[in-house]
Amino acid sequence: MPYILIQVTKEGVTTAQKQQLIRGATDLLVNVLDKEPATTFVVIDEVETDNWGVAGESVSVIRQKYLQSLDQ
């Protein structure tokens, strides 16, 4: 019973895109590991950009700095 967790920042991922992720991840496990689709679980976790960080800063701060650099 495979469990796949996909984490993305919460920035407008559409229902159609989520469905594509679910289908694609399921198909991958079916094709590569011969798993049953009926017992393959896919969870999409949308994380606020304030709660996702890299290189010591949140994505929100990184994006804000990037936008400010474009204005200069």
**3-class DSSP state of 22:** helix
Task: State how far the Cα of 46 lies from the Cα of 69, in Å rounded to an integer.
Answer: 27
Choosing from 2, 22, 44, 62, the catalytic residue is 2
Would residue 2 show up in a list of annotated catalytic residues for this protein? yes
Task: State how far the Cα of 15 lies from the Cα of 2, in Å rounded to an integer.
Answer: 22
Give the residue numbers annotated as catalytic, written as ranges. Answer: 2
